[in-house]
Amino acid sequence: MPHTPVPPVLLGDEPGSFRRGVLAERHPAIIRQVREAFPYDAEVRRALDELAVNCTRGALEPLPDEAHDLDRWRAWGLDGHLGTSWYDVPWLWSESYFYRQLLQAVGYFGPGVWQGVDPFRPMKLAELESAETEAELAALDDLAERSATERGRALLHGSLWGNRADLGFRLSDAGAEERAAVSGLVADDSDALWAALKDATVLCLVADNAGRELVPDLLFLAHLLTEHQIERAVLHVKPYPYYVSDATFDDVLDAVRALVAAPGAAGEFGRRLWAALSDGTLVVRAHPFSASPLPYADMPDDLRADFAGASVTVFKGDLNYRRLVGDRLWAPTTPFADVTAYFPGVVAALRTLKSDVITGLSAETEAALTASEGQGWRIGGTRALIQVRGV
């Protein structure tokens, strides 16, 4: 990035900022919701209550000595942050560690009966089984009449806008779902994406939320496989529950089972996905780095090799975008190509805007957005983009 000034990494300390609000309000609200999700015993409830106090008023505390991933968190910088206020370590670090500590509190890593029980599963399932999801699946029947090109474009946009389905975001912004999406994209490299997909063999999709985002992501992959636009898809999910609704392998199975059970075209998509999982043309990976508190510029060699082997890698969602470009307050006109120059191969971002980080806007677009909304467009979840580098 020869000419790009690099701003500092974002912290959550600025009073009145969205970031501080996430730490001070969203995190305790998530704990309250988790506390109600299952009949947790007194020990779990006490651990959750302690975390609720600690994460808003205290400092980062260590993981247990016997934690299976202690060395990993140390390699990610844990020792340097212990004893520091949650507001004064990098925001991404603070958020990621919050989810790790939440899982510790509910006994997710065991031993014990709560081992492996996803504290967010009731919320994820409620969404997957909702009338909205049913209506979205029924709408697939109309798509069947259209040309493959039109279907592809509709499914790409379904996957993009599916990113509005983010249960963590809705928890701290109750009006988010009702606010109308603005259909014109703030950056639209979709032609470049289709050009890259034309000669593609392997597509990596780095998933974001389960349910109403993962379902359209899977539909998009199924379409590309069916049309022989790609030979193989690699879906990266989280290794454990994270940011409330982020997709895990269990969520992939729930989504595919829901599709298989659906009538009409949705059911056909489901069977296509089932077959692809069985024959290895759809592979799911849950790399530990997918839930790391670090940007993708710091990814380990094996993950880099995985992305390097893909014709195109698509990053879904707001958090993945922050990690892809670096969690910094870039000037919005900073070229997306500059901040992703480190990435091996063609990379695309499909994201609705739900936090301050943004790159790759034209000066005209930035000026128009700011004139109409101040800085609210950055975090409102009504705007979206498709950005591509490396075609």
Give the interface with ligand F1X as residue ranges (CB under 6 A): 22, 95, 163, 166, 168-169, 208-209, 243, 317-319, 322, 354-355
Residue 107 phi/psi, 5-degree rounding, is 75, 25
- Torsion-angle region of residue 292: left (phi > 0), alpha (psi -120 to 50) or beta? beta
Structure-block tokens of residue 51: 């975390």
Tell me 22's DSSP state. Answer: I
Residue with smaller CB distance to ligand F1X, 213 or 268: 213
* Least distance CB 38 / ligand F1X (angstroms): 23
Nearer to ligand F1X, 311 or 340 (CB): 340
How far is the C-alpha of 188 from the C-alpha of 388, rounded, in Å?
9
The smaller minimum CB distance to ligand F1X, of residues 40 and 242, is found at 242
SS3 315: strand
Nearest distance in Å: CB 305, ligand F1X: 25
Q: Would you say 114 or 315 has its CB closer to ligand F1X?
A: 315
**Smallest gap, in angstroms, from Cβ of residue 165 to ligand F1X?**
8
Phi, psi angles (nearest 5°) of residue 297: -60, -25
Cβ-based nearer residue to ligand F1X, 212 or 232: 212
Query: In this structure, are strands 346-352 and 232-236 parallel, antiparallel, or unpaired?
Result: unpaired
Which CB atom, from 276 or from 291, has the smaller least distance to ligand F1X? 291
Of residues 14 and 71, the one with the C-beta less far from ligand F1X: 14
Residue 77, φ and ψ in degrees, nearest 5: 110, 10
Find how far residue 178's CA is from the centre of its chain. 21
Q: Which ranges constitute the DSSP H helices of the chain?
A: 18-21, 27-37, 42-57, 70-75, 78-81, 91-105, 121-128, 131-138, 140-143, 148-161, 167-172, 190-198, 214-226, 249-261, 264-279, 301-308, 318-325, 336-339, 363-373
β-strand 187-188 against 346-352: which pairing, if any?
unpaired
| 3 state DSSP class of 173 | coil
Closest approach, Cβ 23 to ligand F1X, in A, equals: 9
Q: Considering the complex, what minimum distance in angstroms separates the CB of residue 248 from ligand F1X?
A: 14
Shortest distance in whole angstroms from residue 289 CB to ligand F1X: 16
Closest contact distance (angstroms) between CB of 19 and ligand F1X is: 8
Nearer to ligand F1X by C-beta: 22 or 255? Answer: 22
* Cβ atoms of 293 and 11 closer than 8 Å: no
Task: Report the C-alpha dihedral over residues 188, 297, 314, 96, rounded to 10 degrees.
Answer: -100
Residue with smaller CB distance to ligand F1X, 171 or 276: 171
User: What's the token pair of residue 101?
Assistant: 């500590």
